[in-house]
Amino acid sequence: MEDYVQMWGDIAARHEKEWKETWGNNDTTGPLVYRRDVVPYKQIVRAVRLKADQPICWGAADCLDQTLSHCAAGKHETCKQHANDCFLCKAEAESA
């Protein structure tokens, strides 16, 4: 399973690199192309990591950074960058 996680991680990294080189400086179209061409691969990586019982960052829906902490509420694993910005906490607050 680890090889599978690595394979999808490499694919996602390649797509993100290609996006940065081509669209990274385009403020108008860049974000749309990112959602179309990069985010789906990042979502696959996150799903494969979950299936392999590996932690994922719940701070942003497309974050692939290593989890090192928990969100400010202490409920969800996040990377260092997203410790104060947890999208699961936001979704829980909106549904309450």
pLDDT (tens digit per residue) in 34-89? 999 999 999 999 999 999 999 999 988 899 999 998 988 899 999 999 988 888 88
pTM comes to 0.86
24 conformational bin, left if phi > 0, alpha if psi -120 to 50, beta if neither: alpha
Determine the Cα–Cα distance for residues 34 and 10; give it in Å rounded to an integer. 17
Spans of all domains in the chain: 1-54, 55-96
> Which ranges constitute the DSSP H helices of 24-86?
30-37, 39-51
The predicted-structure confidence for 3-43, as pLDDT tens digits, reads as follows 999 999 999 999 999 999 999 999 999 999 999 999 999 99
